[in-house]
Structures are given as C-alpha cells and as structure tokens.
Chains A and B, each alone.
Chain A
C-alpha cells in the first residue's frame, strides 16, 4: 500500500472515471469513440481490482490476476470490434451509430 493514501481515494478516482466512461458512451454517436469509452470503463474496473487486492488482501494475488485477464479480454474485444467497424465502414462509408440500423433490412 502507499503510505498516506487511504483506500477510498483510489475508489473515488476509479468511480469518477467509470461514470465518465458511461457518460461518453451515451453522448457519443461514433462507433470508435464509443469503443474508447468502454476502454475507460474496463480500465477503471481494473484499478478497483488491483487496489482492493493490495489494500485488503496483500498476501494473495486474486485481484492482480483478474485484472490481467481483463486486459486480455479487452484486447480481444477491441480487435473484434475494430474489425467490425472497418467492415461497416466498407459497406456504409461512415461509422455513425444512426446509420448502422440499415443492417437490419
């Protein structure tokens, strides 16, 4: 643990970051910026896992490993999402969310 920093300060930082990500997910209409907002959300959850592990259970490594796995899953998700976005761009010539519902028909 870091001397002089209570656990709550980390949690407040990661909470605000999480809700900034949620807000960005709602107000943006572009697929890539929405993907970036989800990366912010995943990153804030990672901070929570690591900090809980270091402060509450410093003799174990569960939070450390789970945030490692979350980073791996985020990489997989980003690669598939970007492949989809490039394919959508090839068909529709833009990547705004409003236009994607053409895929329904």
Chain B
C-alpha cells in the first residue's frame, strides 16, 4: 500500500468519523471543534488532488473564518456547560432512515455508472492560470460569477451589520 493511498483513507476516515461525531455529540462547542477537524481533513484531500489554492482557501475561509465565527456565536448564545436534550424518537428515526435510504440509493446509483476518466494532460493549477481565468471575459473566463459574488458579499456584509446591530432608543421609533 503506497503512501498516497494510505493518506487518502486516513483523511476519509477522519472526515467520516468526525462528521458523525459532530452531529451526535451533546455539547455544542465540541460539535464545532469536530466540524473544524472535518474541514481540515477536506483541505488535505484538496492538497492530495494538487489543487493547492483551493486547499488554502478551504483552510483560511472555512477552517479559519466560518468555524471561528460559529465558535464566537456559540460563546455568545449558550452556556459552556449546557448539554442538549436527547432528540425525540420520531425525529431520530426520521433522520436516520432518510440518511440510510438516501445514501444507499445514491451509492448504488453511482456504483452502477461507469465514469470515463479523462485522458488529457493535467493543467498545472498555479496562481497565474487561476487569476487569468477568473478575470477573463472570453472562453473559460469567470468574470461574471466573480462580479456577482462580490456584490453578494457586499450585500451580506451590510445585511449582517444591520441585523445584528443593537437598536437604540427603541421607544422613540414607535
């Protein structure tokens, strides 16, 4: 068994085990930390696929940004010693049956389909290629979704500030 294969199965095991733990643990801060492990292992998979930029984005934005945001909001909204109640039985049965039936169906479908692995040469993914394609308007150009996502991020930032802002002198508005 070569090193590559071993690392893949290590990352896959980390992803599966910790995503399962993250939805079954009864302490919310532990759930966030398990989610962090899942995201870091995913970026390891991207490194193995030689998408270094994607892996770096995953590490900085997901593992560095979103998880820290979630942990801060956990600390703001719940007690550290708080434990969840056990979910009621109907919900538990519904969730598990949906997960088992759905994943069985999807895995059966994708194992019965034959994928044609591409035989062309791999494009080296360095920053020059990514920057050129992200900002070009011609073939293989992605300038339109790039601009759309910049507007979306601006709108999300303004919305988050306005929603979370504390209202001053509430009585005078009414």
B-contacting residues, A4-23, CB 8 Å: 4-5, 7-13, 15-23
Cβ of A3 under 8 Å from chain B: yes
* Residue B80 is within 8 A (CB to CB) of chain A in the complex: no
Closest to B106 in A: A15
Residues of B within 8 A of A (CB): 2, 4-5, 8, 12, 15-16, 19-20, 22-23, 28, 31-32, 35, 38-39, 42, 45-46, 48-51, 54, 57-58, 61-62, 65-66, 69-70, 73-74, 76-78, 84-85, 87, 91-92, 94-96, 98-100, 102-103, 106-107, 110-111, 115-118, 120-123, 125, 129-130, 133-134, 140, 142, 145, 149, 152-153, 155-157, 159-161, 163-164, 166
Binary contact track A48-88/B, C-beta < 8 Å → 1, others 0: 00110011111111001101110111111111101111110
A15–B115 alpha-carbon span in the complex (Å): 16
Sampled A-B contacts (27; CB under 8 Å) = A9-B12, A15-B103, A17-B19, A19-B99, A19-B100, A23-B96, A27-B94, A29-B85, A32-B28, A33-B28, A33-B84, A35-B70, A47-B45, A54-B51, A55-B118, A58-B118, A58-B121, A61-B125, A64-B54, A65-B142, A65-B145, A73-B152, A76-B152, A79-B160, A83-B161, A85-B77, A89-B77
Which label, helix, strand, loop or mixed, suits the secondary structure of the B interface? helix
Which B residues are CB-close (under 8 A) to A1?
A: 49, 117, 122
Tell me which residues across on chain B come within 8 A of A15, comparing CB atoms. Answer: 103, 106-107, 110
Instruction: Please tell me which one of the listed residues B48, B66, B98 contacts residue A26 in the complex, with CB atoms under 8 A apart.
Output: B98
A-B pairs, 10 with minimum CB distance: A24-B23, A76-B156, A26-B95, A23-B99, A83-B164, A27-B95, A83-B160, A19-B103, A83-B163, A19-B99
Structural contact, A30 and B94, CB atoms closer than 8 A: no
Q: Contact between B61 and A71 (Cβ–Cβ < 8 Å)?
A: yes
Cα(A46)–Cα(B12), bound, Å: 15
From the candidates B19, B51, B118, B163, name the one contacting A80 in the complex (CB within 8 A).
Answer: B163
- Bound complex: CA of A68 vs CA of B156, how far in Å? 17
* Complex Cα gap A19–B105 (Å): 11
**In the complex, are the beta carbons of B117 and A7 less than 8 A apart?**
yes
Q: Are B31 and A36 in contact (CB under 8 A)?
A: yes
Q: Note all chain B residues with C-beta closer than 8 A to A59.
A: 118, 120-123
- Contact assessment for A30 and B98 in the assembled complex, using a CB-CB cutoff below 8 Å: no
